[in-house]
Structure 1
Amino acid sequence: MTNSLRPHGYQRTPLPQESAPTPPSPRADEPGQQATTPPAASPAGQKPKQRDAFFDNAKYLAIVLVAMAHSWEPLTDSSRTAEALYMVVYTFHMPAFIVISGYFSRSFDLRPDRLKRLITGIAVPYVIFEVAYTLFKRWADDDPTYDFSLLDPWYLTWFLISLFVWRLTTPIWKLVRWPIPLALAIATLSAVSPDIGDDLDMQRLLQFLPFFILGLCMKPEHFQMIRRRSVRIASVPIFACALVFAYWAAPRMSSAWFYHRDSVQELGAPPWTGPVMTLALFGCSVVLVSCFFAWVPRRHMWFTVLGAGTLYGYLLHGFLAKGSRFWGWFDDYEWLHKPLGEIAVTIIAATVVTALCTPPVQRAFRFAMEPKMAWAFRKDPAEQARSRTTTAA
């Protein structure tokens, strides 16, 4: 979901209907943000729309996989099995988040209230955590010269700035005739363009773009198709084949391909591999994302409520994930590289990120993740007029 650690409610409800949809909050799709804003006044006798447990379940399970993959990264040099699991998970965990992001961005436009939520829900947390991660790296890695730059996202913050750009361009993608082929063409050109540079982590922003556009083009019936019993059954041998292939490829292929952060030239590959790998990885990711969605529970589970806090778990667990490397935990404790140690690391990672998604943590860090910032914006004249009308009535 992320920069690698390498050098580098909740009742079962149907999916939103396509006809006359209730515009979702621009923060609904981010890993961890609340899917609903304070509900507006509803017509008498009409209940406010409830969240779909399926998407909260999908976000929670994906963030657990993210934390587990980060815990496996230091183990991949000594364990071929860990490397294979790492490669499989990296094939679909971030694409799954980004597809959901695109799906819930379908109704985004440049309306003032949505732009405000875009700023407070994405841009402001990006700035806050870019500063926090910079200070943390200076202290934990004993690197006081590390420079702060909003143009150079560090570690996990690349996703926030990418989501900001993707969503801001949503009205354009809704206008073009063939958005997915166009996004794939842009991703391919990015993969063979080493001169793009590192500003805004542009390689990753452009190479992951097709997944956002795919979600933007999806409709509720597509998710219904994915969740059919036949797809669930087929996903078992598909995942098994993916694991077998990854086990074979682990010593032969660099996992840096799955980060989408470099051009093929920077990976030491010839330019012709750019289109091939872009299309191949996109196809593999779409298949595994579909298999993942097929097994996500549709009903309310004990962890469904945590789906509203996945952005908290995503950003906060980064301090522990990076700290474990800065402080040499995996070097100091050899038993972590044994099978039982690998299992223990996996359980600890899943437990920690689960705790970081809980409501108490959300309340404690809401000032950074979901600041209201009413002082920073002009009041909407139309909203003021409605308030005066309601008061007079």
Structure 2
Amino acid sequence: MPTTEPLELRKTRATADTTDTRDPFFDNAKFLLIVLVALGHSWEQISYGTHALQSVHTVVYTFHMPAFILLCGYFSQRFTGRPDQVRRLIEGVLIPYLLFETAYSAANSVVRGEPFVLTPTEPTYLCWFLIALFLWRLSTPLWRAIRHPVPIAVLISLAAGLTTMGYDLALPRVLMFLPWFVLGLNLRPEHFALLRTRVARRWAVVALVCAVIGAYRLIPAPDEHWLSMDAGFTEFDMGRPQYLAVRIGIFALSAVLVAAFLACVPRRRTPFTALGAATMYPYLLHGLLIRVCEAAGLYPVLKNLGLTGQILLTLGVVTAVFLLSSPPVRKVFRPLVEPRLPRGAVPVDQRSR
């Protein structure tokens, strides 16, 4: 939410230093975030008109992608553009992007009756994150070479929202979410250690509860495009100064909620810790399950059940993420999710560095 994957969605180290052991905290965070991604995509099928669920959905969207992207940046600190690193980036992100871009275009054609047209430069559904990660990762050496990278990334993000660019290569999201990736590049273990205290956890719970209450009072606002970062100021009925003020406010609120979420993540090994190293699978596959449920007409039934339907959907999604992360599923889908290029393309001395 996707080294070379969303959240290092492949087998990556859990810390940016040279230790050989994985930190359960990061694997726990990655798994919980991928659960929230799947829940967010599923809840939006039934949340409109259901005040409480829509509030929770809004809060989740305020922080889950920023947190996802921040961790991607954190685990990209070693990327220097070496041939072996670029190879892993192509294998772990670009090729799966092309494969699942095709799969989701086909699914939308079958389920929604949309024309089946392959346009790899215009990402479909959740595939936007893969092409964004590919571009962010390639830009890592640039951000490591300049002074004050985070403020510069923030300025680029705000400026991008003032343009009328199209959706080629998901550029609005690439640029507007960019500060979170760059921030992750500049974080150190001691920064995360600040959140590993009892006091931080207590305040984190307070922040999350207040956010849900605030979202409940604001529903039906805000417009979902504010949090999805896929639209510029021309999509909103306001001037540039007001737009910039709202964007800065969203940055601040997201930062608080990202910190709150991370403060609540378990520090020790849990039953799902090991699954945090394989989050590419549920990330790429859960959207196809959503399309299957759409085709089966499941969401209107669940919505009509009210709170019972919301609970059933939530439990079903969590269960699905566990199953999609399991070894049997990974074995079946590994050729699509973790393809391998012919090994002769990279010199042996480069691969062994």
Q: Which residue of 2 aligns with 1:154?
A: 124
Distance apart, 1:272 and its partner CA: 2.1
TM-score by length of 1: 0.84
- SS in structure 2 of the partner of residue 299 of structure 1: coil
Q: Which residue of 1 aligns with 2:345?
A: 378
Q: Does 1:108 align with 2:50?
A: no
Q: Which residue of 2 aligns with 1:238?
A: 207
Q: Would you say the 8 A contact 2:157–2:178 is kept in 1?
A: yes
- Alignment deviations for residues 136-167 of structure 1 (CA, whole Å, 9 cap, x no partner): 21222233x23111100000110000000001
Q: Which residue of 2 aligns with 1:205?
A: 174
Q: Does 1:187 align with 2:160?
A: no
- Alignment deviations for residues 214-233 of structure 1 (CA, whole Å, 9 cap, x no partner): 10010010010122221111
- Alignment deviations for residues 34-58 of structure 1 (CA, whole Å, 9 cap, x no partner): 2159xxxxxxxxx981221111100
Distance apart, 1:177 and its partner CA: 0.8
Match of 1:288 among 242, 249, 257: 257
Q: Does 1:172 align with 2:142?
A: yes
User: 1: CA distance between counterparts of 2:6 and 2:163?
Assistant: 30
Alignment gaps of 5+ in structure 1: 3-25, 38-46, 388-393
Distance apart, 1:334 and its partner CA: 4.8
Q: Would you say the 8 A contact 1:64–1:350 is kept in 2?
A: yes
Q: Would you say the 8 A contact 2:6–2:129 is kept in 1?
A: no
Distance apart, 1:324 and its partner CA: 2.9
- SS in structure 2 of the partner of residue 174 of structure 1: helix
Q: Which residue of 1 aligns with 2:56?
A: 85
Match of 2:319 among 331, 342, 351: 351
Q: What are the within-5 Å matches in structure 2 for residues 38-57 of structure 1?
A: 49-57=20-28
* 1:169–1:330 distance in 2 versus 1, CA, 3 Å: same
Q: Would you say the 8 A contact 1:27–1:34 is kept in 2?
A: no
Match of 2:10 among 11, 30, 33: 33
Q: Would you say the 8 A contact 2:303–2:310 is kept in 1?
A: no
User: 1: CA distance between counterparts of 2:324 and 2:71?
Assistant: 21
Q: Select the structure of larger CA radius of gyration.
A: 1
Amino acid across the alignment from 2:126: L
User: 2: CA distance between counterparts of 1:30 and 1:363?
Assistant: 20
Match of 1:65 among 36, 41, 46: 36
Alignment gaps of 5+ in structure 2: none
Match of 1:310 among 279, 285, 304: 279
User: 1: CA distance between counterparts of 2:117 and 2:190?
Assistant: 47
- Alignment deviations for residues 290-316 of structure 1 (CA, whole Å, 9 cap, x no partner): 111111111111101110111110110
Q: Which residue of 2 aligns with 1:8?
A: none
Q: Does 1:262 align with 2:262?
A: no
* 1:371–1:325 distance in 2 versus 1, CA, 3 Å: same
Q: Which residue of 2 aligns with 1:365?
A: 333
Q: Would you say the 8 A contact 1:28–1:104 is kept in 2?
A: no
User: 1: CA distance between counterparts of 2:71 and 2:300?
Assistant: 37
Distance apart, 1:364 and its partner CA: 1.5
Q: Which residue of 1 aligns with 2:103?
A: 132
Amino acid across the alignment from 2:69: I
Identity of aligned residues (%): 38
User: 1: CA distance between counterparts of 2:300 and 2:348?
Assistant: 60
* 1:276–1:367 distance in 2 versus 1, CA, 3 Å: same
Q: Would you say the 8 A contact 1:312–1:356 is kept in 2?
A: yes
User: 2: CA distance between counterparts of 1:378 and 1:138?
Assistant: 36
* 1:174–1:87 distance in 2 versus 1, CA, 3 Å: same
* 1:28–1:220 distance in 2 versus 1, CA, 3 Å: farther
The two structures, once aligned, show a CA RMSD in angstroms of: 2.2
